[in-house]
Amino acid sequence: MKRRDLLKLAPLPLLAALLPLIWPRGRPGADVKAKVLVVGKGIAGSMVKMILDSHGVGATVLECSDAALPGPGKVDVALGLADAGDLLVHLGVGGGVVKTCATGIDPDNRLVYTDTRVYSYDILFLTPGVVFDYGAVEVKGRVDNFTPYELGSALAKRELSAGRYVIVHPNLPYRCTSAPYEFALLLDWRLREEGKPHSVTIISQVGKIPAVFEKYISQMGELVWKILEERGVEYINAEVELVDGENKVVHLSTGEKVPFDYLTLVPPNKAPRFISAVSNAEGFYVEVDERMRHPKYRDIYVAGDAVWHVVKTGWAAATEAAIAAAWALEDLGISVEKPKEIYSEDAIRITPDLGIRGAKRWYPIYGDVYWRQIEGPSPEVVEAKKKTIEFFRQLLKYY
């Protein structure tokens, strides 16, 4: 995938932010000799790699996974609304991409440990995404977790049957806060279309929102709750104390017991443990400054889901990565125009042809949100989301 072809697919807000970075006015006069390392080839890592390449700066990307689906596409594949072959991206090697799994970081000596060797760096980008902490959820017996959030489950061929579907999502921060609601509404739509008796229940474990995150929360809540009520999708706000797979019951902190036939359990999200040497105390996430840089280790940049922030979407990951890459280029003596904002949006499809959308812009990472927008329900929201999914898919294919 060439940069020129990729940008033909880019949604306009993202295109405007990235154009000066991806098509620079000039290349550096001499080769940059710095060792630049990128850990993780998701949306953020791929964006960093593409921007650095655009300025003649080589980077080595370390990626552990064999394949990926762009985030919103996982829901489509899991529910049989899209073919996996059309969205699945195989994360190959070559072009500076190495198949290896990071296991640790020594920031004082500028080293990254992997399962194959040790890498040194002058500049490090941490873009590893998140992992699911299943150990934080007490489960009794075996549970078949019907979830679009993990690749294996999303790709599993399933026949949706009549029954009780329960979707459990964790407390903040978790990746893509709108995803459980889109999954619930599209699941309900498909079962209705097939005439299969069912119920859908969402259990939200979001408790008190940290003060630092309050201004970033989507303003679509009232509209989403109205749609859930109209569709008969039950919403419960409580903590999960036990998932009883033997009796197919979720036990809540309120004393309520919610029976299920099919469960979607999203456990707490955390950044991978290997970055703990540079993380804060909040579940291994990393706090950053206005340059998306570690406040202590000025040679380490972080973007995407591993950042200590509540907004964890593909949009946020891409623009955070663009900001980090621009400032790293500055460190290397290459002056570039910096993106002026972080952009994020949540688009929830309530049917495959109708959706709602909320968007916001802000900068720096913990700065004030200065623009918000709510649109829909409309078919245009769905068309925009399809374009976004394709853009992210092509971005993941870069190298």
User: What pLDDT, in 10s, does the model give residues 317-356?
Assistant: 999 999 999 999 999 999 998 999 999 999 999 999 999 9
Higher-confidence residue: 269 or 283?
269
3 state SS for the chain: CCHHHHHHHCCHHHHHHHHHHHCCCCCCCCCCCCCEEEECCCHHHHHHHHHHHHCCCCCEEEECCCEECCHHHHHHHHCCCCCHHHHCEECCCECCEEECCEEEEECCCCEEEECCCEEECCEEEECCCCEECHHHCCEECCCCECCCCCHHHHHCCCCCCCEEEEEEECCCCCCCCCHHHHHHHHHHHHHHHCCCCEEEEEEECCCCCCHHHHHHCCCCHHHHHHHHHHHCCEEEECCEEEEECCCCEEEECCCCEEECCEEEECCCEECCHHHHHHCCCCCCCECCCCCCECCCCCCEEECHHHECCCCCCHHHHHHHHHHHHHHHHHHCCCCCCCCCCEEEEEEEEEECCEEEEEEEEECCCCCCEEEEEEEEEEHHHHHHHHHHHHHHHHHHCCC
pLDDT at 16 over 90: no
For 32-131+271-337, CATH gives 3.50.50.60
Domain limits of the chain?
32-131+271-337
pLDDT band at 101 (very low <50, low <70, confident <90, very high): very high
Q: What is the mean pLDDT of residues 295-315?
A: 96
pLDDT per residue as tens digits for the range 201-215: 999 999 988 888 999
Q: What is the pLDDT of residue 155?
A: 93
Cα–Cα distance between 209 and 212 in angstroms, integer?
8
Using an 8 Å Cβ cutoff, are 295 and 198 in contact? no
pLDDT band at 268 (very low <50, low <70, confident <90, very high): very high
Q: What is the pLDDT of residue 178?
A: 93
pLDDT at 34 over 90: no
pLDDT band at 32 (very low <50, low <70, confident <90, very high): low
The structure's pTM equals: 0.93
Q: What is the mean pLDDT of residues 118-128?
A: 98
